[in-house]
């Protein structure tokens, strides 16, 4: 089976990933978030103002899990993120797709509140750089990850 390297930006080494439930609803709901783009992980790591590190994981996909994958931003992606950000839960083990970064999130929030239409959202979001995230929502999903190493990031 194919093995993929994923990254998780943090302020600490995360050898044993966990699903943490909080009041804050992320793009794909509660879960452990990684990316296949090291620069994205570095951005995540640099958010806290403390030690910045990137954790490396070997990801072995498991076809028996329930996986939702968005290849690109789409109406279905927007609706899914709007639902998750509004606190609705889903039954997927793993969700993968583009990320609603801070700028995109403002547009998603406006869409959720009914302040802009989908058409207006897409006009605003059209020229944003591509991002990637993959979130693990169950213990079975987390079992697909194997910690490799953690590197402290010195660039801010």
Give the per-residue pLDDT at 43.
Answer: 87
Whole-angstrom Cα distance, residue 66 to residue 53? 30
Average pLDDT value over all residues in the chain: 89
Q: How confident is the model at residue 128 (pLDDT cuts 50, 70, 90)?
A: low
Whole-angstrom Cα distance, residue 116 to residue 118? 7
* Matching residue, tokens 């950000």: 85
Q: Is the pLDDT of residue 76 over 80?
A: yes
Whole-angstrom Cα distance, residue 30 to residue 25? 7
Give the per-residue pLDDT at 1.
Answer: 59
Q: How confident is the model at residue 65 (pLDDT cuts 50, 70, 90)?
A: very high
Whole-angstrom Cα distance, residue 117 to residue 78? 11
Least confident of 53-67, 93-107, 135-149: 93-107
* Matching residue, tokens 């793009």: 27
pLDDT tens digits, one per residue of 23-43: 667 889 999 999 999 988 998
């Amino acid at each position: 089976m194919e093995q993929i390297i994923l990254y998780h930006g943090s302020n600490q080494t995360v050898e044993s990933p966990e699903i943490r439930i909080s009041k804050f609803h992320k793009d794909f709901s509660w879960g452990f978030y990684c990316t296949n783009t090291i620069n994205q992980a570095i951005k995540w790591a640099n958010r806290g103002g403390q030690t910045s590190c990137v954790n490396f994981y070997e990801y072995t996909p498991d076809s028996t899990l329930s996986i939702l994958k968005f290849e690109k931003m789409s109406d279905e992606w927007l609706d899914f993120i709007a639902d998750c950000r509004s606190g609705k839960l889903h039954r997927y083990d793993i969700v993968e797709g583009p990320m609603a970064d801070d700028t995109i999130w403002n547009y998603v929030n406006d869409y959720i509140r009914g302040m802009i239409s989908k058409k207006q959202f897409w006009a605003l979001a059209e020229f944003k750089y591509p991002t990637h995230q993959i979130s693990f929502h169950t213990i079975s999903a987390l079992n697909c990850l194997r910690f490799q190493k953690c590197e402290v990031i010195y660039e801010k």
